[in-house]
């Protein structure tokens, strides 16, 4: 079976780290062309170093291109209170001798997508969408050349940074607006579906039992991350970012409907809000609403065991 070429733009972050390892563990099904990093959960130097350490942990040869160190217009907001000062606290990964590949992430996205056949590459985004917006402005042909854009971000209901906005879209609402107005074929994984994928103690134990270095790193990261539990309630933190990668591998794990998604960039209170209209006659995204969490964790454990 032909491998599905993907690019993964991310801001690791423990949940991004799990998405990265899931993708790299699925090299029989996914060809990860490159990782691109953006400032978000932690500053760019940290997200980039984290991505390099994770590629090393996976034993992969995948270039990492550093991208935007701040949003298009807004000041950078980070989330060390959730992810810890390194962004992947709990992983305990050693420093790596690997260095970022030359070239800004936005240029790397343009070059990689233009170098492949039209409608072949899926762009996965699990952080603020700044690099995607820059790439789409650099190369207006890009949205039409992509197979699709699979995004973790936004919310049908309440946000997780403000009542209105989810973190990735809150950090860079203008970039999110550019991406959703680009005409790209978008699949969106909002908080309403990622909150169904909870890191319970039992699931954490299953990951720990896989027993290899990658699984131990994931268990350490998720133990740290679930303990911070930014949204309150029992320590069962939602595992946001592996969702789009899991969908690429096993689409039956998710259910959704097409909707028109628009991003708030004017209202100070609502900045970054994703308005999701399932009744629109002009939908621009497939918005996921249901997840099979047990199936996702089974996929994750099976794939981690291959690293």
Positions annotated as catalytic residues are 240
Q: Binding to ligand RIB (CB under 6 A): which residues in 211-250?
A: 240-241
Contact assessment for residue 197 and residue 54, using Cβ atoms and an 8 Å cutoff: no
The interface partner of residue 74, options being ligand RIB, Ca ion, none and the CB cut-off 5 to 8 Å by kind, is none
What is the total count of residues that contact ligand RIB (CB under 6 A)?
15
Which residues from 70-99 bind ligand RIB, rule CB under 6 A? Answer: none
Is the preceding omega at residue 266 within 30 degrees of 0, hence cis?
no
Cα separation, 149 vs 157, whole angstroms: 22
Query: In the complex with Ca ion, which residue's Cβ is closer, 149 or 282?
Result: 149
Look at residue 160 and give the partner it binds from ligand RIB, Ca ion, none, a contact being a CB closer than 5 to 8 Å depending on partner kind.
ligand RIB
Helix (DSSP H) and strand (DSSP E) numbers for the chain: 13, 9
H/E element, 214:
helix 213-228
What string of DSSP letters covers 236-253?
--B--THHHHHHHH-GGG
User: Residue 16, interface with ligand RIB (CB under 6 A)?
Assistant: yes
Cα–Cα distance between 176 and 159 in angstroms, integer? 15
| CA–CA gap between residue 238 and residue 231 (Å, rounded) | 9
Among 13, 87, 173, 256, binds ligand RIB (CB under 6 A): 13
Q: Does 41 bind ligand RIB (CB under 6 A)?
A: yes
- Binding letters toward Ca ion, positions 220-259, x by CB under 5 A: ---------------------x------------------
Q: Which residues bind ligand RIB (CB under 6 A)?
A: 11, 13, 15-16, 40-41, 126-127, 152, 160, 166-168, 240-241
């Amino acid at each position: 079976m032909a491998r599905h070429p993907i690019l993964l733009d991310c801001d690791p972050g423990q949940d991004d780290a799990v998405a990265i390892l899931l993708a790299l563990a699925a090299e029989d099904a996914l060809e990860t062309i490159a990782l691109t990093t953006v400032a978000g959960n932690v500053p760019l130097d940290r997200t980039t170093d984290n991505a390099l350490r994770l590629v090393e942990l996976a034993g992969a040869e995948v270039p990492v291109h550093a991208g935007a160190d701040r949003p298009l217009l807004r000041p950078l907001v980070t989330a060390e209170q959730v992810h810890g000062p390194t962004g992947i606290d709990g992983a305990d990964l050693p420093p790596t001798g690997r260095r970022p590949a030359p070239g800004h992430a936005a240029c790397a996205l343009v070059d990689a997508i233009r170098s492949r056949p039209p409608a072949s590459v899926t762009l996965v985004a699990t952080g603020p969408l700044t690099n995607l917006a820059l790439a789409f402005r650099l190369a207006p042909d890009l949205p039409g050349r992509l197979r699709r854009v699979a995004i973790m971000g936004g919310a049908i209901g309440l946000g997780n940074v403000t009542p209105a906005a989810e973190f990735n879209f809150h950090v860079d609402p203008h970039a999110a607006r550019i991406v959703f107005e680009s005409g790209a074929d978008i699949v969106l994984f909002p908080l309403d579906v990622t909150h169904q994928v909870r890191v319970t103690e039992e699931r954490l134990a299953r990951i720990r039992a896989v027993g290899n270095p990658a699984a131990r790193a994931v268990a350490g990261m998720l133990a740290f991350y679930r303990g911070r539990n930014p949204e309150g309630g029992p320590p069962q933190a939602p595992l946001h970012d592996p969702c789009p990668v899991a969908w690429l591998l096993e689409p039956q794990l998710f259910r959704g409907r097409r909707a028109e998604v628009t991003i708030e960039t004017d209202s100070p209170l609502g900045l970054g809000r994703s308005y999701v209209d399932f009744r629109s006659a002009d939908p621009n995204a497939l918005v996921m609403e249901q997840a099979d969490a047990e199936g996702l964790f089974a996929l994750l454990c099976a794939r981690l065991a291959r690293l």
